[in-house]
Amino acid sequence: MVFEDSLSFAKKMDQQDTLAHMQDAFYIPKIKNRDENEIYFCGNSLGLQPKLTSQYLNDELIKWQKLGVKGHFDCEFPWMPYHEFLAEESAKLVGAKPAEVVSMNSLTANLHFMMVSFYQPTKTKFKILLEEHAFPSDHYAVESQIKFHGFEPDEAMILLKPHNGEECLKAEDILATIDKHADELALIMLPGVQYYTGQVFDMQAIADAAQHHDITVGFDLAHATGNIEMKLHDWGIDFAAWCTYKYLNSGPGSVAGCFVHEKHHDNPDLPRFAGWWGHDKDTRFKMENNFIPIQSAEGWQLSNPPILSLAAIRASLDTFKKAGGIGELRKKSKQLTAYLRFLLNNRLSDHINIITPDDELSGCQLSICINSDNKSGKQVFEAIEAAGVTCDWREPNVIRLAPVPLYNSFADCVRFVDVLEDSL
Ligand SMILES: *Cc1c(COP(=O)(O)O)cnc(C)c1O
């Protein structure tokens, strides 16, 4: 596709975009004191609110008003199995079977619960492979699990770092590190998409290497779910977890997602921290003391979940479905992000450096560093925010831009680059 750097070209792209109407399914924040939409490039941090959300939430409030406790059973979308109504569409987003996914807890909590089951260190095989600059919560979770098992984090954490002067890890270096430490690694835990650089990891190659060496492999999909296509089941990933407030537009702090591969569902030897919501559904209410896990990802649930949050997730999943699913969205996303990359390179290549790798190695996010003599990256960020852009700043030196195919347009990309040019 040959792009042109003009608003008229962008508007033509928007006219041809079969998903352009999806923008009307969302509330777009307005620029302060103006009746004009913001350029919202922050869906990687907090996705916008679908218009369906308040309706779905209100349905549950009304059910509670009218039915009280009976809302668990005698109605449309009863609360008792409510999480089950989310499984099919969640599974499609990550390439899983519905029985392999469940909505529960928060992301970091799920990483912990997954490590309880899937980090089984022995005296010789006790190390965990992660990135040196993993999202801090992931680092803390891994480090504390290692300590919990009585090992030394300095010894047990193998940290992947980019080459000097580079921002991204190379696939061949990750695979070489796995080979080198294969006998000592108990677990590999990496992101599907890196939060800082926007780099997409080759999950399939990493999973193949892990299986070859009999190492358990889990992924943090906070920046991957709702952004790129995945095949967790086919790739043989052991477990994964993700939040739903970023690309999944389910509201701040909404309940997280979790994937457990089917091959683990009936393994009685796996340790797990159990709760009644993970217990066999037929006998849960007999209130007896022998725990029988449900033989699906649901067996890892602890508590009855917050229904209002699940209702928001259901609204979001229905919005994805209306757009034709992640495959359709990814097609648009590739073009949209390629267009933003084209505009930035065309107009501003002397002042910015895009650290996100190209093509298949990126999702919708582009991370840029500012090289300017008169302004710091942070000052440029503050200037574009003041001019009606919402994006985010990540220490030490990156502005993250996420044109989201559900609600961003090609015209947004041109408007954004105009603002950035002025601010530089
Ligand atoms: C957003 C994000 C988190 C946030 O964790 P919560 O438990 O949802 O607060 C953790 N890890 C990664 C990689 C993230 O991108």
* Rounded Cα distance, 52 and 304, in Å: 24
108 lines ligand 1 (CB under 6 A): yes
Residue 289: Cβ-neighbour burial (10 angstroms; 0-12, 13-18, 19+): exposed
In the listed set 292, 322, 352, which residue is the last one of a domain according to the structure? 322
Do 280 and 372 fall within a single domain?
no
Residue minimizing CA distance to atom 1 of ligand 1: 222
* Rounded Cα distance, 401 and 367, in Å: 6
Do 198 and 229 fall within a single domain?
yes
Do 76 and 11 fall within a single domain?
no
- Among 42, 44, 108, say which to mutate for ligand 1: greatest number of ligand atoms within 8 Å of CB: 108
- Residue 133 inside a domain? The answer is yes
Q: Output b/e per residue, 125-157; b: 16+ Cβ within 10 A.
A: bbbbbbbebbbeebbebbbebbeeeebeeeebb
Do 165 and 73 fall within a single domain?
yes
Residue minimizing CA distance to atom 13 of ligand 1: 135
For residue 14, the CA-to-ligand 1 centroid distance in Å is 32
- Residue 50 inside a domain? The answer is no
* Rounded Cα distance, 40 and 411, in Å: 12
Model pLDDT for residues 268-317, shown as the tens digit of each residue: 889 999 999 999 999 988 888 999 999 999 999 999 999 999 999 999 99
Work out the number of other CB atoms within 10 angstroms of the CB of residue 251.
Answer: 22
Domain that holds residue 261: 58-322
- Residue 261 inside a domain? The answer is yes
Residue 336 belongs to what H/E stretch?
helix 326-348
- Residue 360 inside a domain? The answer is yes
Do 92 and 24 fall within a single domain?
no
Q: Phi and psi for 355 in degrees, rounded to 5? A: -90, -15
* Rounded Cα distance, 92 and 80, in Å: 23
Angle among Cα 137, 313, 325 to the nearest 5 degrees reads: 100
Give the CATH number for residue 32: 3.90.1150.10
- Chain-centroid distance of CA 306 in Å reads 20
Residue minimizing CA distance to atom 10 of ligand 1: 137
Instruction: Give mean pLDDT in consecutive 10-residue pieces for the chain, a chain of 424 residues.
Output: 96 98 98 93 98 98 97 95 98 98 98 98 98 97 98 98 95 97 98 97 98 98 98 98 98 98 94 96 89 97 98 98 98 98 96 91 96 88 95 90 98 98 93
- Among 103, 106, 113, 135, say which to mutate for ligand 1: greatest number of ligand atoms within 8 Å of CB: 135
Which residue matches tokens 């509201």? 251
Give the CATH number for residue 80: 3.40.640.10
To the nearest 10°, the Cα dihedral for 122, 123, 124, 130? 60
Q: How does strand 257-260 pair with strand 101-103?
A: antiparallel
Q: Which atom of ligand 1 is nearest to the CA of 195?
A: 15
- Residue 355 inside a domain? The answer is yes
220 lines ligand 1 (CB under 6 A): yes
222 lines ligand 1 (CB under 6 A): yes
For residue 49, the CA-to-ligand 1 centroid distance in Å is 19
List the structure tokens of 374: 């008169």
> pLDDT at position 14, please?
98
- Residue 18 inside a domain? The answer is yes
- Residue 49 inside a domain? The answer is no
Where on the phi/psi map is residue 101: left (φ > 0), alpha (ψ -120 to 50), or beta?
A: beta
* Rounded Cα distance, 218 and 113, in Å: 12
Do 280 and 339 fall within a single domain?
no
For residue 74, the CA-to-ligand 1 centroid distance in Å is 36
**What is the number of domains present in the chain?**
2
Do 316 and 379 fall within a single domain?
no
> pLDDT at position 179, please?
98
Do 120 and 17 fall within a single domain?
no
Do 314 and 409 fall within a single domain?
no
> pLDDT at position 33, please?
87
- Among 195, 254, 398, say which to mutate for ligand 1: greatest number of ligand atoms within 8 Å of CB: 195
For residue 10, the CA-to-ligand 1 centroid distance in Å is 33
223 lines ligand 1 (CB under 6 A): yes
Distances (CA, A) of 6 to 214, 331, 347: 53, 22, 11
Do 200 and 107 fall within a single domain?
yes
Contact of 311 with 60, CB cutoff 8 Å: yes
To the nearest 10°, the Cα dihedral for 34, 48, 253, 315? 140
In the listed set 285, 307, 322, which residue is the last one of a domain according to the structure? 322
Which residue matches tokens 């757009």? 323
Residue minimizing CA distance to atom 14 of ligand 1: 222
Do 336 and 314 fall within a single domain?
no
> pLDDT at position 381, please?
95
* Rounded Cα distance, 338 and 4, in Å: 12
Contact of 310 with 115, CB cutoff 8 Å: no
* Rounded Cα distance, 424 and 415, in Å: 15
Do 311 and 246 fall within a single domain?
yes
Q: What share of the chain is helix, strand, coil (3-state, %, to 5)?
A: 45, 15, 40
- Residue 268 inside a domain? The answer is yes
In the listed set 270, 300, 322, which residue is the last one of a domain according to the structure? 322
Q: Is the peptide bond before 396 cis (omega within 30 degrees of 0)?
A: yes
Q: What is the DSSP letter of 223?
A: T
Q: Which atom of ligand 1 is nearest to the CA of 222?
A: 15
* Rounded Cα distance, 336 and 13, in Å: 9
